[in-house]
Amino acid sequence: MILAETPRRKLVTQLVTWGHWFALQNIVVAIIIAAIYILNSPAPITAIGNLYLFTNWISHIGFLTFFGFVILILPLCYLLSNAKTVKVISSIVAASGLALLAFDALLYNKFGVHLSINSADLIRDEAQTVMSDFGWQQWGFLTLLFIVWFSFQLVVANALWQRVKRLQKRKLGLPISSFFVACFVISHGLHVWADAKLYQPIVKQDNMFPLSYPATAKTLMSRYSLLDIEDYQQRKALQFDQTINGINYPIAPVYCAVQNDQKVLLLGLVNGKISGSIAGISSLGKHYGLQSNLQSSINTVLYGLPELYHDALSDYDPILLSLPASMGLDINVFSEQNLPAKFNQYISSWDEFKSSVQHIESNLAIGFINSEDLSQLLTPEVQSQYQILITDLSHSKALPSQLFSNINMHKQMSSHEDLAPTVLNLLGCTANASAYSTGSDLTNTNKRRYIVSTQGSKVLLLTATERIEIMNNGNVRTFDLQSNEEVFSPVDTGLLSQGIKHLSSFSSKRPL
């Protein structure tokens, strides 16, 4: 007795085959849409980071789309006996799902968040703002856009249905599924390793795609002594992402008055150093330049912020200059080094700068000079009329620098970040320095018991006895401040976390 395939079974087989090809077509479209997440995020700087990005992009978006097919479309192939109805409903589901993915990608691009309960308030507020300006033309355009998108899905669905018998003969299922499975295994395997090592080029991609929950194995690895869980938790707490996509500068409006009769002279030595002593000017005990090069030191003096933020500050005038200028004070800046064009309104030639200082004309004079020029500036009259700060900018790399002044200072340790707040305070501005600088005014007693800054990819934190270097993966090295030799004393995680939080206060970076 020969059992022939029933028409119903034959239809179901054709619908399931059609459904898989329809899902594959939408996986490709979804992967293309998901490229928006990648194009609007910082690119990984390592080959392994790029490999993870590619495999995670393909496998995660492919999995999400296929999961939607299994849950929403595949049951229709078994429940409905009308192929046309299945194609129409599937096209509506696919068009809606991909439109939702595109909306999430645009939301991530603008606000750095995905569709979720946590972002519901943000979406509602934005939607109310946008929709309040919508007229019938905008609504008509959106409706037409969805109809076109739905029509595209319907055309593809019908085209695949007409070729379903031909597609059944193709043996592409195994290689295609093997490719996606390989991407899935590679991406999750790389993430397990990166999570254990806190490898930033991979770990910081955790929130890039929607509904992303990469694999971790910390508990299992610690159970078999493959991972020191306490060390892992310490390093994770001390992770510091150097990626700055934006900056809040200043954090809050800086409101203060200045005194027109105050005179401040700030000198940074870009070449040479002060030898011996200067009559009437004393040296601060411990002053540090924590920047990696001379240009970073100059930027730090002007902005009062570490080099972490310098690229993001390229479009901002320093508060140190813009606030006194807005109050009508006379400002003169001279530099042996080339400064960006935005400083041209403040820059004077050497002869103009020297003349304005010697004739006590400037309220604020800032000079980046050679040590040989000091004698021409520091005349007895200048020293009696100006409140003077002199520092060595050529000496960096977290080694002791020099800071000389004729004012009383109440801080035992200082860095270049402290100079901008100190100068503004000397001019009479009593605004909170934390609004525009990570430093503090040296003329006021400060209870913070450390100095924190960045140097390249490292965070540097200095206490009275130690220099602590924190790598961007959370690894910590400690050095004796006097001998510069590495020591292996216990790490105060609370202090380091506090320092990193202090550094991050100006960042408006988007989560990755």
* Letter string b/e over residues 246-273, b meaning 16 or more CB atoms within 10 A of that residue's CB: ebebbeeebeeebeeebbbbbbbbbbee
The CATH homologous superfamily to which domain 264-444 belongs is Alkaline Phosphatase, subunit A (3.40.720.10)
Phi-psi region of 12 (alpha: psi -120 to 50; beta: other; left: phi over 0): alpha
Q: Provide the β-strand partners of residue 441.
A: none
pLDDT score, position 200 = 72
pLDDT 10s digits, 433-462? 889 999 888 888 766 678 888 887 788 888
Strands 458-462 and 476-480: unpaired
pLDDT 10s digits, 123-145? 776 666 666 666 667 777 778 88
For 501, other C-beta atoms within 10 Å of its C-beta total: 11
Cis amide leading into 250 (omega within 30) = yes
Range 220-226 average pLDDT: 52
**In whole numbers, what is the pLDDT of the chain averaged over residues?**
81
Residues 363/263, Cβ–Cβ less than 8 Å = yes
Range 33-53 average pLDDT: 87
pLDDT score, position 203 = 77
Q: Which of 265-269, 272-276, 286-290, 369-373 has the lowest mean pLDDT?
A: 272-276
pTM exceeds cut of 0.85 = no
Closest residue by Cα to residue 321 from 298, 302, 301 = 302
> Hey, where are the domains in the chain?
7-227, 264-444
Task: Tell me: pLDDT of 218 over 60.
Answer: no
Q: What percent of the chain has pLDDT over 90?
A: 21
pLDDT score, position 253 = 87
Residue with tokens 């946008």: 130
Decide which of 237 and 437 is more confident: 437
Phi/psi for 103 (5° steps) reads -65, -40
Task: Tell me: pLDDT of 258 over 50.
Answer: yes
d(CA 156, CA 87): 10
Residues 87/154, Cβ–Cβ less than 8 Å = yes
Task: Tell me: pLDDT of 225 over 70.
Answer: no
Q: What percent of the chain has pLDDT over 70?
A: 84
Range 351-357 average pLDDT: 91
Rounded to whole angstroms, what are the CA distances from 446 to 238, 319, 414?
24, 21, 11
Residue with tokens 């550094």: 503
pLDDT score, position 511 = 38
pLDDT score, position 234 = 53
pLDDT score, position 33 = 92
pLDDT score, position 246 = 67
